[in-house]
Amino acid sequence: MAVSNEEERLVRVHDVIQQLPPPHYRTLEFLLRHLARVATRSRDTGMHVRNLAIVWAPNLLRSPALEGVGAGGGAEAFREVRIQSLLVEFLLSHVHVLFSRSFTSAGRDGPGHPPLARPNSLLGSGTTPRLLSLEEAQARTQAQAPAPGPGKAPPAPDSPEER
């Protein structure tokens, strides 16, 4: 189904994005905001929105039909890759609107349809994201893991020193 109006496209794409599970939503937001920043440096890198879309579309929108050998022939594969690329280009061109806290979908929000509460992303939280060291990640995992029940063996040691 073709959508002719730009605002209607924004609403529909926004609705789909809002339905993503929170980790997927945050990952997509982070990646698209990063790629949009890369596009602002296109003078230096040559990676403007269209080039980024062409490179990233097959990774973001995997198609089992394209992965099969001989599926649909060459023309069909090129057509599908072109559609994927156009969608990613649209996402990159509208990332600030699609992930805005103030943009609401007319079709979803309103009486009887409360807006979906989205978790704050790392970008919107006001803190600079920091990668965890392996030791910090292991400590967090072990602190969150439930203790083994009676009759169950404890987990295997993680480092060679513990073995």
For 100-156, write each residue's pLDDT tens digit: 877 766 544 445 445 555 555 444 444 555 677 788 878 888 887 666 556 655 556
Q: Which CATH fold topology does 6-108 show? A: Phosphatidylinositol 3-kinase; Chain A (1.10.555)
The predicted-structure confidence for 88-98, as pLDDT tens digits, reads as follows 999 999 998 88
Both structure tokens of 37: 């920043």
The predicted-structure confidence for 8-23, as pLDDT tens digits, reads as follows 888 888 888 888 899 9
- The reported pTM is 0.59
Burial of 127 (0-12, 13-18, 19+ CB in 10 A): exposed
- The residue extents of the domains of the chain are 6-108
